[in-house]
């Protein structure tokens, strides 16, 4: 594949899709994140997301989340729990509960969550509850 041919043919979208597929630890990404204009745009976008409360709505990309990252996430979670219980043992009145790391979000994981909620709503309807009785219905 020759990127110069893509650019000469005006295949900008295909070129951008290829760039998006580069690993996060590539030299190209490093150069992009150190570019003043790009870094400024990314910083503004992240600040806007923080203001809207949508920070990190999804976890990492599945293609960037291999066995090493899974094990590191497990170690981080265990260390967070260890820190929490050490604070409890030390007498801290209300230590902050650790927030779990977000796993990669795929269509399969979204459907599993959705089907689990549907099963819960079905069981709740057997006891006379409706969807409006739950907070989860406001997310749909």
Asked if residue 113 and residue 91 are part of one domain, the reply reads no
Is position 61 within any domain? no
pTM: 0.47
Task: Share the mean pLDDT of the chain.
Answer: 82
Asked if residue 79 and residue 110 are part of one domain, the reply reads no
CA pair distance 132, 121, nearest whole angstrom = 10
For the chain, what is the domain count? 3
Asked if residue 49 and residue 12 are part of one domain, the reply reads yes
90-118 pLDDT per residue, tens:
999 888 888 888 888 778 878 888 898 88
**Res 87 pLDDT > 90:** yes
Signed CA dihedral, 120, 121, 126, 129: sign only: positive
Question: Looking at residue 136, what is its pLDDT?
Answer: 52
For range 57-68, the mean pLDDT: 78
CB atoms within 10 A of CB 80: 16
Question: Looking at residue 56, what is its pLDDT?
Answer: 47
């Amino acid at each position: 594949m020759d990127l110069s041919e893509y650019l000469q043919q005006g295949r900008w979208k295909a070129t951008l899709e290829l760039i998006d597929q580069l690993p996060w630890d590539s030299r190209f990404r490093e150069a992009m994140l150190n570019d003043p204009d790009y870094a400024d745009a990314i910083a503004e976008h992240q600040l806007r997301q923080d203001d809207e409360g949508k920070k990190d709505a999804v976890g990492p990309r599945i293609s960037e989340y291999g066995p090493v990252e899974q094990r590191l996430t497990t170690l981080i979670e265990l260390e967070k729990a260890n820190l929490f219980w050490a604070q409890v043992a030390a007498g801290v009145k209300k230590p902050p509960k650790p927030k779990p790391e977000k796993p990669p979000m795929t269509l399969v994981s979204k459907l599993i969550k959705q089907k689990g909620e549907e099963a819960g709503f079905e069981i709740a309807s057997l006891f006379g509850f409706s969807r409006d009785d739950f907070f989860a219905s406001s997310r749909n």
